[in-house]
Structure 1
Amino acid sequence: MITWMLIGLALMFVVFAVVWAIGVKIRNYSFLDVIWSYGVAILAPIYAFVGPGHPERKWAFTVLGVAWSLRLGTYLFFRVLKHHPQEDVRYEGLRQRWHGSGMFLVFHELQAVVVVIFSLPFLLAAWRMMPLQIVEMIGLGLVLIALLGESLADRQMKHFKSDPAHKGIVCAIGLWRYSRHPNYFFEFLVWVGFAVASLDTPHGWVTLLCPLLMYYFLTQVTGIPLTEEYALKSKGDAYREYQRTTSAFIPWFRKA
């Protein structure tokens, strides 16, 4: 199992180096987000094919992991493609701090390591011989619910933005009425589900890193902080009122 984890890490190093080289060539590092999202869809099936574990378990994990990966990766791919050659503001900011492309290569390879961490639930599932247990079914059920919730949140936002009359207006319909970032909440919940499903596996506790890292990224790094910074610039006081009345992350009732 450790051997295949190292093989997966080596493969991700190569893939992310190629994406870095493409980013240098086209002067747009935004496609890093796309390949990061597709990472699970690359590694999970490999682990399932080579792992000796029970087919029911490893393929249940793999199908849900690939569904999450392809949905998010494809969504980001078309978003990045739509804005190309304009680069994501995060990478524009990093360009001001990092002169040259060397630090960006290091940054890409660090993301490769993170992808391997997020592939741990699928690696462990592929090497366990027992059929699915009740705690694993509960965890995977939570993953499925979270995937549906995330898809619904994205669909509601897309529908809202498609109406020209909503330009400059805060979206507070559907799930967005109860959370400023329901898509991020369900993204986090996906990995809570995979961690719960892995807890009954030997060394499964290490998968708790996945929801912890996801929560940190979404709430402290590239998720909520940057999204809200942009929303405040574009919507001003309307978004400040939305911040005052609506939960930032976990869906909850609005304040009066």
Structure 2
Amino acid sequence: MRFDQALLLTVAVAIIAKTGAWLWQLRTRNAGMVDAIWAWTLGGLAVVYALCGDAPALPRLLVALMGGAWGLRLGWHLWVRNHGKPEDWRYARLRKDWGDAADRKMFWFFQFQNLFTLMLAASAFAPVAYRDTMPPVWAMALALLLWIVAIVGEGVADRQMERFRANPANKGKVCRNGLWRYSRHPNYFFECVHWAAYVPLALGAPWGWAALAAPAIMAFLLLKLSGVPMLEAEMIRRKPGYDEYVRTTSALIPWPPKR
């Protein structure tokens, strides 16, 4: 399948997935589940590009496995974290601010998220799925190494935070356990590493440079748009000591805390 046809297919998949998420929140009044559906959709787009592309079989298989497994893990984590819980405060605030127009605006908000979903998928997966040669062996090894580091690191950070939150004695406290001692958002850091894993696979491809956009887009989303700024403003407001945590701890890249 030509790239333009595959791109249109991914657009259709993303729109259908987010429409399903919107219908789900209509029934449950919990829009937080869209986070899990986002991860599963993006992982699914890796498989779509791998199936539609005309690259040699091995790089397409790597894209499908790496992107698909990443999406499955993160989506399941987000689903378990949100399912049966009160609506995530971000979406609850939007619902309150939008009032009677909340359902309509939530639909278009979900579809707006698809712009970044499609940009991530096209920049990370398509250059590999549509390359006409094999990537160098060392590049495939580096891609797998980065991917393993990202998946393991993000999983460890998520579990450390889950254990911290599960302890009633930690209610209202700032987590400084494990990786969270060295980064305020270690899960976000390893998320960026994950998207960097596709860059080596795209080396030598006609549009291989486009793969550099994926980690840049994710870093922008997390650091400037929907991740750190919104989350930390809320944490400073409701958690004593979080402002001191901000002053002493790296925002993203794990680094020894300031004294």
Structure 2 length-normalised TM: 0.88
Letter in 1 for 2:90: R
Counterpart in 1 of 2:34? 32
Which residue matches 2:121?
A: 119
Could you list the per-position Cα deviations for residues 124-178 of structure 1 after superposition, in whole angstroms to 9, with x for gaps in the alignment? 3222242331334323421221211111111222223333333333221221111
Deviation, 1:208, is 2.5
Query: Amino acid of the residue matched to residue 253 of structure 1?
Result: P
Residue 181 of structure 1 deviates from its aligned partner by 1.0
Query: In the alignment, does 2:256 pair up with 1:247?
Result: no
- Counterpart of 2:89? 89
Matches of 1:158 and 1:2 in 2, distance apart? 42
Alpha carbons 1:146, 1:189 under 8 Å: kept:
yes
Give the drift of 1:3.
0.8
Instruction: Determine the C-alpha separation between the residues in 1 that align with 2:133 and 2:16.
Output: 33
Aligned twin of 2:135: 132
Q: Does 1:10 align with 2:12?
A: yes
SS in 2 for 1:101: helix
Pick one of 142, 145, 152 that aligns with 1:148. Answer: 152
AA in 2 matched with 1:107 = F
Amino acid paired to 1:155: R
Residues in 1 aligned to 2:172 and 2:32: alpha-carbon distance in whole angstroms? 25
**Cα shift at 1:189:** 1.5
Find the aligned partners of 2:204 and 2:151 in 1 and give their Cα distance.
22
Asked if the contact 1:246/1:253 (under 8 Å) is kept, the reply is yes
> How many angstroms does 1:76 deviate by?
0.9
Between the aligned residues of both structures, percent identity stands at 35
Give 1:79 shift. Answer: 1.6
Runs of 4+ in 1 over 6 A off after TM superposition: none
**Corresponding letter in the other structure for 1:108:** F
1:1-256 aligned at under 5 Å gives the runs 1-83=3-85, 86-95=86-95, 96-97=97-98, 99-120=101-122, 121-133=124-136, 134-236=138-240, 238-256=241-259
Root-mean-square deviation (CA, aligned residues, Å) is 2.0
AA of the residue aligned to 2:250: S
Equivalent residues of 1:140, 1:197 under 8 A apart: no
CA shift for structure 1 position 36:
0.9
Q: Which amino acid aligns with 2:135?
A: L
Distance (Å, rounded) in 1 between the aligned partners of 2:170 and 2:24: 36
5+ unaligned residues in a row in structure 2: which ranges? none
Question: Are the counterparts in 2 of residues 64 and 144 from structure 1 also a CA contact under 8 Å?
Answer: no
Equivalent residues of 1:30, 1:87 under 8 A apart = yes
Where do 5+ consecutive residues of structure 1 fail to align? none
In structure 2, C-alpha distance between the alignment counterparts of 1:113 and 1:229, rounded to whole Å: 25
In 2 relative to 1, CA 18–159 (structure 1 residues): closer, same or farther, beyond 3 Å? Answer: closer
Query: Residue 27 of structure 2 aligns to which amino acid in structure 1?
Result: K
